[in-house]
């Protein structure tokens, strides 16, 4: 009978298990941050949270319930996409701040972009057609 090397043993052990996904990697990175915070601040709370996150990440990696882990990962990816969309919108607004002013419509709260340097102008909301006067 031939002996199994370490790679083959690991592959056999991981058969039927979920494995590492984006959410597990995120949890491990966050746990590392908490553990580093614990070292810098000498607060045991951070180390407990960091170790708890590591345990949960490895629980997910070694889980034998792939459908549930897949749903958790999809939920994480959806939230990540929402956050990244908001960050990209803020970045885009920040890049345009020298050329445009941004106002919210008083009635529907729609964001309206108008060019800078036009003094007082009447702005018409593209969504609800409400008109309001602002200085640019």
CB 20 within 8 A of CB 58: no
Instruction: Give residue 136's pLDDT band: very low, low, confident or very high (50, 70, 90).
Output: confident
pLDDT given at position 73:
96
Tell me: pLDDT of 110 over 60. Answer: yes
Instruction: Give tens-digit pLDDT for 67-99.
Output: 999 999 999 999 999 999 999 999 999 999 899
DSSP letter at 98? T
For 132, residues 6+ apart whose C-beta sits below 8 A from its C-beta are 103, 105, 106, 122, 123, 125
Query: Would you say how long the chain is, in residues?
Result: 136
**pTM of the complete model:** 0.71
Measured CA to CA, the distance from residue 136 to residue 115 in angstroms comes to 7
- Mean pLDDT on 50-63: 95
Examine the pLDDT at 1 and tell me if it is beyond 70: no
Q: Domain ranges in the chain?
A: 6-95, 100-135
């Amino acid at each position: 009978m031939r002996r199994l090397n370490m790679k083959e043993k690991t592959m056999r052990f991981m058969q039927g298990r979920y494995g590492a996904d984006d959410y597990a990697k995120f949890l491990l990175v966050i746990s590392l941050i908490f553990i580093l915070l614990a070292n810098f601040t000498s607060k045991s709370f951070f180390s407990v949270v960091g170790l708890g996150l590591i345990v949960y990440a490895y629980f997910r990696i070694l889980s034998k319930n792939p459908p549930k882990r897949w749903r958790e990962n999809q939920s994480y990816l959806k939230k990540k996409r929402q956050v990244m969309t908001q960050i990209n919108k803020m970045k885009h607004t920040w890049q345009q701040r020298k050329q445009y002013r941004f106002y919210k419509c008083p009635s529907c709260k729609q964001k309206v972009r108008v060019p800078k340097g036009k003094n007082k102008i009447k702005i018409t909301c593209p969504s609800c057609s409400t008109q309001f006067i602002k200085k640019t």
